[in-house]
A and B are shown apart, each in its own frame.
Chain A
Amino acid sequence: MKKTKLQLVYLTLMMLGLKSVEASDYTLNLMKGVTKTSNDIYDLHMLTLWVCVFIGVAVFGTMFYSIYHHRKSKGHKAEQFHENTTVEIIWTIIPTIILIAMAIPATKLMIEMDDVSESEMSIKVTGWQWKWEYEYLDNGVHFFSSLDEKSNQARKLGSDIDPRTVDHYLLNVDKPLVIPTNTKIRFLFTAADVLHSWWVPDLGWKTDTIPGFINEAWTLVEKAGTYRGQCAELCGKDHGFMPIVVIAMDKPDYELWVKEQKALAQAQLAAADREWTHEELMTKGKSIYTSSCASCHMDDGSGMTGTFPAIAGSSMVTGDIGNEINIVMNGQGMMPAFGSMLSAADFAAVITYTRNSFGNAVGDLVQPSKIKSLQAELVSANDDDDDDD
């Protein structure tokens, strides 16, 4: 019964010139996704869609029959009926029943989606203008994830790079989120500056990230794979350029990845302790500037009048180095605090770079070790704050 109905609708759709819904899933219809939730959502979506199609066929069918037959040019004489309480009651009751029938599975699914209990691990996601911060609460892995460099170059106005030549244009990041398969993962969402919304269609949902508040959601991915998404809440000029990439790995691979991340963090700490040359800092600084600063202060350090001050020729940048470190460390107004975002080496590099580029030629540098001790102070200051609460 159900099947023939489906086929009927399917045929109607084809006649309407729509391509087969099944065959071209990706471009026409909602994707089924890779979780039970996303599949349930898909089913509910299809259910309401068919309900709408049926009602539509009935209503539009009647209307077009009438338009065709009940026209003056065909000599049809207008009848003068204009009221019928019985039909009014019928077409109030029937839709109500249909709605109740739709509300039942919807309620069930909503309750299921809301239930984060029994999750096996937690990841905290923080939205920033315009990147994502991921913190694995169980094992301490922590990193930022932003648009990959190829897309970032291609998406500039007048870049002359054809987006079609860029691998996963605008849907690729420098460092993807990695999660284990067959594990119920609880996500905690918050934001550092403005609202964002974390959305991976294959997981079936998006959740808003709100500064000062924490939202929860969960997922359980069975199949290993790479799943892509985007920020879904307008968050300023680069809202379209903060994608999300989730790589689901089988447990053993995931454990390996965690190990690697820890080793990497160790190496970074070690890097901060050695002496860096001016040249080394400048090279590293350039890449950090491009990924972390250029979206506001522009590639050439010229800024944007009215909102983002220029780096080139700035008296702040060419003045006392302590002041510049302070602002970059703690943020100011719309400028985020980079103190906890960049490693000591990256931080030192970008400071050094800004003081000696775009026509700025202060000639000095700051060593990562210095930054490391400043960052340590920052952390203990924050801890003190927490103690006060």
Chain B
Amino acid sequence: MRIGVFVCQCGTNIAATVDTEAVAEAAMSMRDVYHAESIQYSCSDPGQRQVIAAAHQHRLDRVVIAACSPRMHETTFQRAVIQAGINPFMLEMVNIREQCSWIHEDREVATTKAIDLVAAGVARVRGQVPLKRGRVPVVGEALVVGGGIAGIQAALDIADAGMPVTLVEREPTIGGNMARLDKTFPTLDCSSCILTPRMVELKHHENIRLMVSSEVTAVRGYIGNFEVDIRKKATCVDEEKCTGCRICEEKCPSRAPDEFNAGVGESKAISIAFPQAVPLVAALRKEHCRQFIKGKCGVCKKVCPADAVDYEQEDELHTEKFGAIIVATGYRLFDWEGAYPDYGGGLYPDVITSLQYERMLSASGPTGGHIVRPSDGREPRDIVFLSCVGSRAESVGRPFCCNVGCMYIAKQAIQTREHLPDSRCYVFYMDVRACGKGYEEVYRRAQVEAGAVYLRGRVGKIYPRGDKLVVMGTDTLIGDQVEIETDLVVLAVGFAAAEGAGELARRLNIAYDGYQFFTESHPKLRPVETTTGGIFLAGACQGPKDIPASVAQASAAAAKAIRLLSREDLETSPMVAEVNHMRCIGCFKCAEVCPYNAIEKQKLHDGRTVAVIIESLCQGCGLCNVACPPQVISLRGYTDNQLISEVVEVLR
């Protein structure tokens, strides 16, 4: 065993507080160390060459580099030692910068500590054995969860790159929230005109399999090799047979809430959410259907000309394999009613959400594009918009900005003027955030062309006066209270994560924040990756976003997925657990604690049943190593002996 120790000066970063020469000298007297020197910049090209040359000259088989954190340059030096003909796992990095020179001032103290740490590194590398990375093949298909604009974009991008995609959507149709919008800022083009073609393209794409009314129920495996359970809920309609004629919906006697229209209007127990739905197939909601509640009805089955209705239909369970997963489950509006008693908490019919207003503006919506007061069906003249309801509101526990409210209020104010030329719009705002390309222009149009009156301040109270509503607020610019008697109030309600987002995140084993938005791996540099390899994020599920940002992120996620799927196989870390089968007693305590189900039972020739590690699944956490009663499992790279010898050295 011949170890070389290289002590980096890192210019003065280390050398200013650690006497690197002294450390190198001390290292020379450590066991099995045949060479030690101090290097000015070990990570630089000349520095690396110096290491390689010394390795050759002194016939080194193990290398210790005392420099910065291994999190910084471990791979750099692994590559260097490979060039010196040394196995990359025979390299040990000792952190004498972040955890030594940068946090101590006293040179003697820092030098002593550095020597301790180098001794520990030497002890550790002595216990190291050459390891080889494994390889696992990559399944060449992607899964996209959620079929809003983000999911649609991601699926199309991957499919266009020639790779198969499965898109799983919980609702009976794709389209997500964008399908509910009338026009879209900043250009105010019609939402369905730009969305519907993409939905249809997706449906007919040869590389895409669309599964609607479906949810992911379990996820196993790891990057390149996910195994996913998908449950397709029974909708009592045969997707192959249904022609989308909607006769069933017309004749259905059971009324049901209209979720697509955000509660404006009513729907039927069997229905198609909107005329451009994809797939254009009816779905039956059992909880509202007379056939299922009362046990008799059968109207839809009778009237269906295609014989597509099937009350006996059962949930289908599918298990599929994917190499990459893109999560694009979007958002819903924050549940404002409980949080805002001051605004009536849902008691006043003429206080509505922006999404409800959006449905009213839509020509194909429940009011046929007419703006009316839900209470009496009359056209409003005065309309008050409130921004930041459940956004930027510490008092209701929603401190973040919804990113789109300012813009869609401006959009809706412009549209209101187009629909009702005599109307007057008032907007209570905190700040108008119009930072995107072309956004400020929309805001100006709302003020100048549509004549919307912007009042800077929050609204404290809304209450009825006769058939009108009184909105009491402050105008912080003039420093006084204002009161507006109005016909309709539109609340720009903030974003919340999709229902069940946290649960899905736990199934996928990805991180999420306190509001159940999924967390990216790095806020700046890895914005579409999750902390779990092979799972990517797109759209509003990661945080409030408008359509341009959702689409951009979706394409970025698709690019990441394509990069992964285009590889034949992936390298795996060899720092995994290992069982000494001779001494395994077959208790399987290890399997109980393994978070990855990476431990299997295996029957040996001698009749004993022992634990074996599936190396491609093991992530190297070491839980089994600790749990094993006879102590016969050992985590490569972090064996008991290695850790103990480190402890012994730092305490010497």
Whether A and B are associated in the same complex: the answer reads no
* A interface, CB within 8 angstroms of B: none
